Amino acid sequence: MSALLEVDGLEVDYGTARALDGADLRVAAGEAVGVVGESGSGKSTLGAAIGRLLPRQAVVAAGTVRVAGEPVLDLPPAALRRLRRQRLGFVFQDPIASLDPTMRVGAQLRLVLRAHGRDGRESPGGRDGGRGGADVAFHLARVKLDDPRVAAAYPHQLSGGMAQRVAIALAMAASPELLVADEPTASLDSQVREEVLNVVFALARQAGTSIVWLSHDLPAVARRCDRVAVMYAGRVVESGPAADVLGDPVHPYTAALARSAPAVAVPGVRLEPVPGRPPVLTGPSPGCAFAPRCPFAEDRCATERPEPVRVGAKDVLCHRAAELEVIA
C-alpha cells in the first residue's frame, strides 16, 4: 500500500544550524501518527516541511516530501496551494495568534468556507452554499462550540481552548486527508487538553483524516496514536506501532524516554532521565548523534551514520539494534 505521506531523507538547515538531518516518516491513510522528541529535535521543522511552510531562511539540503504521491517541495505555486487547500490541514501551537485578530470568528470561518465553495468542493453541512450562518454554526458545533456568541467574538475574547477549537474547525473545514498538529495543546491548561484532543481525534476519525501529531509527551501520544515516531537531533530514530515503541523500545534513546515518562513510573522506582544534553548540529552528524549520551555506544557509533533497521514491526536507527532487541 502506498503511504499518504512519505518523507525521505529530509535535511533542513537554518543558516548554520541543522534542524533535520535525514528524517524519514511514513503515514498511511486514516492513520494517527505521533511524532515525539525533545525541544529542538526538529519536530516543528518536519511538520512545516510537510506543507512547505518552512520560513525563508530554511534551506532544504536534501530529501523529498510526498503527499498522496505529489512532490510537495517541487510543486509550482498554484499546485502547491491546491494541495494545501484540498489535502492538508494545519493546527499550530499558539491558538489565539493563529487567528486573524481583526476579524470575528464567524467571519473567518465564512471566508474559509467560501474559498472551498469556489473550489467546487462541498464541505460537510454546506447546505446553503457556504454563504450563511447555518454553515458557520455547523462547523463550530463540530468542535463542540455551541454557544452562538463564539461566532460573534474576536479571537482575543476567547480562551485558549476555545480559540484552538476554532483553529481546528478552520483546518478541518475542507475535510483534509492529512492534519498536521504541532503541539496543539502545549499552551492550554491540562483540563482543556483532553477535550481539545478528543475533538481533534473524533473529527479526524469521522472524516477519515490522517493525523501527524507533534508532541513532547510520549505516553499521551502512545495512548491515542496508532503509530509513534521518536525524533532525536533531526532524525527519526525509532518508529512503529505505538504499543511496541512505548512498551518494547529498542533504541537506547527511546528506552530512556519510555523509562523516564511519568505515566509509566511505578511508585518506589526511581525515574531514570537521559543524562547529558542533545547536540546542536551545524552540519550532517558524522555518526549516531545520540552516541555521546548512549550507554551502549561503540567506536563505530561516533563515525558511521546508522541506517534504519527493521526490528519486528519497527524501524530503528541504531547500529546495535539487533543485539539490543535481544537484551530488551
Partner 1 sequence: MNRTARVKRSRRLDPLSLAGLGCLLLLVLVALGSLVHAGGDPDAIVGPRLRPPGPGWWLGTDNLGRSMLPRVMEGVGTTLLLSSAAVLVTAALSAGFGILAGYRGGYLNELIMRVVELLYSFPAIVLAILVAAVAGPGQLAAVASIVLVTIPLMTRLVRAAAVAVAERDYVTAAAISGAGLPRILGRHVLPNVAGTIAVQGTYALSVGISVEGGLSFLGFGVQPPQASLGVLIRQGGTYMMAAPWLIIGPGVVLVLAILSINVLGDGLRDRFEPRETRSLI
Partner 2 sequence: MRLLLWWAGRALSSAVTLLGISVLIFAALRLMPGGFAETILGPFATPAQKAELAARYGLDQSVFAQYGHWLAAVGTGDFGTSMISRQPVAAELWARLPVTGRLTLFAVAAAVLAGVPLGVLTALRARPGGGGAAGRLLSGLGVSVPEFALGSLVVFVVSRYGLQTSGYLLPAAVLSIFAISATARTTRDAVLNVLVEPHVTAAVARGETPWFIVRHHILRNAAGPVLTLTAYLLGGALIVEYLFNLPGIGSYVVQAVGRRDYAVVQAGVLLAATVFIVMNVLIDLLVGLVDPRLGRRA
Q: Among partner 2, partner 1, ligand ATP, none, what binds residue 295 when CB lies within 5 to 8 Å by partner kind?
A: none
Subset of 47-66 contacting partner 1 (CB under 8 A): 53, 55-57
The nearer residue to partner 2, 153 or 297, going by C-beta atoms, is 153
Nearest to 83 by CA among 95, 73, 98: 73
How far apart CA 50 and CA 54 sit, in angstroms, is: 9
Site string for Mg ion, 38-77 (x = CB under 5 A): ------x---------------------------------
DSSP secondary structure code for residue 182 in this structure: E
Cβ nearer to ligand ATP, comparing 261 with 309: 261
Smallest distance, partner 2 to C-beta of residue 161, A = 17
Contact predicate 148/71, CB 8 Å: no
* Rounded Cα distance, 105 and 196, in Å: 18
Query: What are the two backbone dihedrals, phi and then psi, of residue 222, each rounded to the nearest 5 degrees?
Result: -65, -30
Q: Considering the rule CB under 6 A, would residue 176 count as an interface residue with ligand ATP? A: no
Q: Which of 26, 43, 66, 87 binds ligand ATP (CB under 6 A)?
A: 43
| Binding letters toward ligand ATP, positions 47-76, x by CB under 6 A | --------x-x-------------------
- Write down the least CB distance from residue 177 to Mg ion, Å: 23
- Any idea what DSSP says for residue 270? P
How many of the chain's residues bind partner 1 (CB under 8 A)? 8
Cα–Cα distance, 189 to 186 (Å, whole number):
8
CB 259 within 8 A of CB 253: no
Contact stretch for ligand ATP (CB under 6 A) within 38-46, 59-67, 189-197, 201-209: 38-46
Nearer to partner 2, 80 or 207 (CB): 80
Instruction: With beta carbons less than 8 A apart as the criterion, state whether 47 and 214 touch.
Output: yes
Regarding 19 and contact with ligand ATP (CB under 6 A), the answer is yes
Q: Does 41 bind ligand ATP (CB under 6 A)?
A: yes
249: contact with partner 2 by CB under 8 A: no
Partner that binds at residue 236, options partner 2, partner 1, ligand ATP, none, CB closer than 5 to 8 Å by kind: none
**Scanning residues 143 to 172, which ones bind partner 2 (CB under 8 A)?**
154, 156, 167, 170-171
* Residue 74 binds partner 2 (CB under 8 A): no
- CA distances for 287 relative to 161, 216, 310, angstroms: 42, 25, 19
Q: Is 15 in the site for partner 1 (CB under 8 A)?
A: yes
Max CA distance (Å), the chain: 67
Q: Per CB under 6 A, does 185 bind ligand ATP?
A: no
Alpha-carbon dihedral sign for residues 243, 246, 247, 251: positive
Retrieve residue 132's grid coordinates. Answer: 450563511
Give rounded-to-5 percent helix, strand, coil for the chain.
35, 20, 40
User: Strands 227-232 and 210-215: what pairing?
Assistant: unpaired
User: CA-to-CA distance for 67 and 69, rounded, in angstroms?
Assistant: 5
The separation between CA 14 and the C-alpha centre of its own chain, rounded to angstroms, equals 20
- The footprint of partner 2 (CB under 8 A) covers 51, 53, 56-57, 80-86, 88-90, 92, 94, 97-103, 111-112, 115, 154, 156, 167, 170-171
Interface residue list for ligand ATP (CB under 6 A): 14, 17, 19, 37, 39-45, 55, 57
